[in-house]
Structure 1
């Protein structure tokens, strides 16, 4: 009896640990989906490949929610052992498996699409030019926030407003960000007489730029894989025309996408691959849990049936050990039979 209770408690403890792991996985799925949704990169492919966003965000959030519900059901079932809870647990487990399969298939399809594009010359499909436009817009907007807030002014002024280089060169050195340069020039208008027109236009446009922190993740990737300083003056001029003049050049030649295409497609492929491989591991873990539960359930039913049969046999054996009167022996309380002639 004691060993049976110990096994039951051990099984309960193991089941609680498994469901706590499910809870952590569900939370991670939702956090990952929220981060992807907040990432500016999703805007690049969202307009023309909306299924990527739907599968990689909406279905991932749904999966995380189902897994969290599943973990609570499992913990309750470990303590209360109600058949209804077991049925609900099985239902949500199957639902989670379906969602995992859908998101996993979408992730590997997305990875295959990015890899296919990377192996072909631009444009790989009719959709890629639209992705290029979205990438250029994001790249330049992120770099615009950087140019306005933190970029060294010497090279920036040379590329964006060469006409005023001689006028502001004396104070541009050592200043980071167009906003800081504008403040510095305004504080020394007695030296300049008036704000140079080109610089005034830059200052006005920088006031409209989003804060640099919004694009911090994008800039981190750009600086590590495709920095504007190495992209060439053509890219800086392209972004300058886009940001400060509202003029967008060609989407590939001389544009950010033309320089950063291999790195961007690698980012797209690797992100999809990581999500897909993570879901493969989770899918296998779920299948192992389902098979283990079924085997344990079957074994428990077999043990219960075996115990019931053993108890029944013992009961029959105990009943047969009771001494019954023999049919061959006369009943001692009766008189001897009388023969009538």
Structure 2
């Protein structure tokens, strides 16, 4: 096995960033400590979860590129290990590596449900859809133990608060007892991410995410329960996953998805060198071609960070992807919408220690 590759992990390197004027270094730990004393493959990296105690749980944004103004992230870091994840650079804020640290050194916010209840009780709170899963996946493996997402959904269901969920995990099916009644009231929309139907490619790109067949099965289960589902084929990676676009949309539509969306791969900050290293390790025969096409779609750069254009792309390759997507959506009856309109008129603030008089 290539010494750069870690079993069931996405990144091939674990360097910290000097973007915040800290000296760049290569994080050590179990792997590097053991290399001098063991023969053969290094031991598996352990997943470590640290409790984080934020003061608030709802994050606000004013981005013109996304369809929500508030979100909740129960976890920091993500064990799914998707090499392309645009959230990886957030670990640099903690002087941890956006590489393997992002996948193995996770942070959980068990006070999140309590903070959520308090924030929804504030007199000046104005209701609007809360997005979950827009940064790191709320149904990543550690959710099975911590159940922070489940507790947040319980509060939003209790208060009639609209919710948008993005995930690539079939663990969401566990919460259908909450989501189905919310969907019947027009309070929830779910987006399932499927970027490849090939188990080998998916395992390389998203090593600890559920395999594609399980995600398609989750779309079917959610749809059968009356929960509206959008399939996201984001990100599309040229010369690696783009040839699967029509097949994914067909499989999702046949499973009951109503809408579809896509974004060409984005490589912000530390994601670009991580992605390049991953290409060199897994696809050395086409690494140059992949990066050439990405730069062609991003104005000659690895990434376009600008509002209004960062989620889109330009040039012949971008036009071809856009045309193929539109034709496939029409063919399979999918609407090009990220989210359906959710109701905001059913919200009732949660009760505090003292019950309401009326």
TM-score range, shorter chain: under 0.3
The structure with the largest helix share of the pair is 1
TM-score, normalised relative to structure 2: 0.18
Q: Which entry has the higher C-alpha Rg, 1 or 2?
A: 1
